[in-house]
Structure 1
Amino acid sequence: EGSQLVSLLLETKPREHVVDFCAGAGGKTLHLAVLMENRGQIIACDVSKKRLDDLRTRLKRAGVDNVHPQLISDENDRCMKKYHGKMARVLIDAPCSGSGTLRRNPDMKWRPLNLESLIQRQQSILAAAAPLVKPGGRLVYATCSLLKEENEEVITDFLAKQTAFRLIPVAAILARLNINLGDHAEGTLLRLLPHHHATDGFFAAVLERQIGLS
């Protein structure tokens, strides 16, 4: 599933410092902890105390101790400033329309007004998370949406404003991981399509903060 691929795209290593910016229930956080062999540090952020409390329970059950849940008021919470420029990897599993899950949720409803609000939130989250990444570090932006407005257009807007970042071709990462997803994962961005991959629709972009640029 695409949700598991996201963690792999970070290509994180043990002892690195990582932020899961929208940790939610913590599925990707736990996957990262496994990939990092329970070493290093993962800051798992969320705006919901309940979700973070549930995550703490899951962490304890799994015997994971390199994850530090962090409650934030929103993406611009000042408590995150101390991590600016220090994180090797940052994951954003952004809130989205969920349009890629329609095969499982055919009754789901959304409105254009809701979409515009989501896009603004996605742009704001990306802008807030970018300073966390250290030079040479990596940021992965992902959604379970099929809509270009939430995916490619958000990334285009980000790159126009954040010139220190560049896209890393997803195809090269998948090749290193020996993962073959066919034609729809051969370029710069990852797109999983329900009718091609028998998964939920999914999008991911991998961004690197270039050394020497600010």
Structure 2
Amino acid sequence: MRLPPALVGHTEEVLREILRFTGPADMVLSRYFRDHQRLGSRERGVIAESIYGLLRNKSVFTSFSESGSGASMRRLALLGLADAAGIDSLCGLTEEETGWLQRVMEIDRAHLPVSLQSNLPTWLWEKFVEKMGETEALVLAQALNAPAPLDLRVNSIKGSSREEVIASLALAPIVAEPTPYSALGLRIKKKPSIQNLPLFQDGTIEVQDEGSQLLAQLVGAKRGEMVADFCAGAGGKTLALGASMRNTGRLYAFDISEKRLAKLKPRLARSGLSNVHPVVIAHERDAKIKRLAGKLDRVLVDAPCSGLGTLRRNPDVKWRQNLVGIAELNVKQTAILDSAARLVKSGGRLVYATCSVLEEENEAIVSAFIAAHPDFTLVPMSQVLAEQKIDLEMGDYLKLMPHLHQTDGFFAAVLERNKPQVA
């Protein structure tokens, strides 16, 4: 099906705004679509797919765009649209543009320089190469640059088994498969709209990456305990923790953003949970936190991070992050983990997690914490995984990678507050 000629102009206009990298690409797209309500759902879908394709392949497409004549932003828009919808679907192109697109799209990208094929900023590509060598670094980059499937978590509170949910989805018809590691996870290769499904509306299913589901499981939250999700955000892990607790005990969802916590409310209403207490805090040393010092059985710190493990879903992140920003995040990560640790009672568990694949946000933060807090001990991840019956081979830490585990990139460490020595 042919696309309207105006679509090139729309794609070019929104691309120009997104490439300023002043905010997340999905927010810029949403705002643009609100301002241009005459665009139909198919047109919006093509524009969005083109933009995300461009962000994933920005290094290669920028290199290609420099080989033609005319405005480079238009050439980038054309490359994105051709990649998403095919050259034959484009209207309003000059003969020269059509010929150039055909030549460019036929180029074998495997013959391009490896650093260009990675479609990563130079500083990040060099970090990957230094850590794992060029061959594996490219495999990781390609996995991070591929679109993610849709992962769902079955809400165990609602009483449906994973098999029953698979059968219900098949009637939609949506093909879902069990995830390999999370016992409550489902994976859908395509990305159907699920918001109108009864299963979604009644809280039986929630959208959550399998890696994120596993992080919640590592906390090991049990019935009747006092637990905190220290950086709850929109509450995906909070809901999983509440279900693990079988809707008993007390679960605090802390966050400094009232806007983020507001997104938890409709999800909470669907979930059927009544043990969750969302709390807006001013900072990590808020008085509301001090009152709970030494009282909690489990605390999850899903720390603010670079988000470089989520590039499959948020490809613009790699172009918006830099080394200065990561150094600033390290200071914040250290302060948050230090503050959250005060909540944990003797024998309690503290889980530090990020959706980053960088050592300075992960192992380095945990090592520094242990050195500064001799009252905490690292629990080997292999032991925690066995305890939770998760079939994964890990050493001291959980390190999930998209090219190895088909999840987003996640890191987690489990720490335990030592019990006092009995004289």
Would you say same fold, with TM above 0.5?
Answer: yes
Asked whether the equivalents of residues 234 and 262 of structure 2 are also in contact (C-alpha less than 8 Å), the reply is no
Alignment of 1:141 onto 2:349: no
Asked whether the equivalents of residues 166 and 209 of structure 1 are also in contact (C-alpha less than 8 Å), the reply is yes
Equivalent residue, structure 1, for 2:240: 31
CA distance 1:38–1:161, shift in 2 (3 Å): same
**Identity of paired residues, percent?**
53
Asked whether the equivalents of residues 192 and 202 of structure 1 are also in contact (C-alpha less than 8 Å), the reply is yes
Q: Cα RMSD between the aligned structures?
A: 1.2
Equivalent residue, structure 2, for 1:211: 419
Q: CA deviation at 1:178?
A: 2.3
Equivalent residue, structure 1, for 2:332: 121
Q: Which amino acid counterpart does residue 9 of structure 1 have in structure 2?
A: L
Q: CA deviation at 1:188?
A: 1.0
Asked whether the equivalents of residues 92 and 139 of structure 1 are also in contact (C-alpha less than 8 Å), the reply is yes
Asked whether the equivalents of residues 21 and 92 of structure 1 are also in contact (C-alpha less than 8 Å), the reply is yes
Secondary structure of 1:200 counterpart:
coil
CA deviation vs aligned residue, 1:89-146 (integer Å, no higher than 9, x gap): 0000111001112233333221111001100000000011011000000000000101
State TM-score, norm by structure 1.
0.94
User: In structure 1, what is the Cα distance between the partners aligned to 2:245 and 2:380?
Assistant: 23
Runs of 4+ that moved beyond 6 A: none
User: In structure 1, what is the Cα distance between the partners aligned to 2:266 and 2:402?
Assistant: 33
Question: What does 1:71-82 correspond to in 2, within 5 Å?
Answer: 71-82=280-291
Structure 2 unaligned residues grouped into runs of 5+? 1-209
User: In structure 1, what is the Cα distance between the partners aligned to 2:260 and 2:311?
Assistant: 24
Equivalent residue, structure 2, for 1:199: 407
Asked whether the equivalents of residues 181 and 197 of structure 1 are also in contact (C-alpha less than 8 Å), the reply is no
Equivalent residue, structure 1, for 2:370: 159
Q: Which amino acid counterpart does residue 199 of structure 1 have in structure 2?
A: T
User: In structure 2, what is the Cα distance between the partners aligned to 1:74 and 1:27?
Assistant: 21
Equivalent residue, structure 1, for 2:257: 48
Would you say how many aligned residue pairs link Structure 1 and Structure 2?
210
User: In structure 1, what is the Cα distance between the partners aligned to 2:269 and 2:312?
Assistant: 34
Secondary structure of 2:412 counterpart:
strand
Equivalent residue, structure 2, for 1:8: 217
Q: Which amino acid counterpart does residue 12 of structure 1 have in structure 2?
A: A
Q: Would you tell me which structure has more helix in proportion to its own residues?
A: 2
Asked whether the equivalents of residues 191 and 202 of structure 1 are also in contact (C-alpha less than 8 Å), the reply is yes
Equivalent residue, structure 2, for 1:20: 229
Q: CA deviation at 1:23?
A: 0.4
Q: Would you tell me which structure has more strand in proportion to its own residues?
A: 1
Asked whether the equivalents of residues 38 and 65 of structure 1 are also in contact (C-alpha less than 8 Å), the reply is yes
Q: CA deviation at 1:54?
A: 2.3
Structure ID, larger Rg = 2
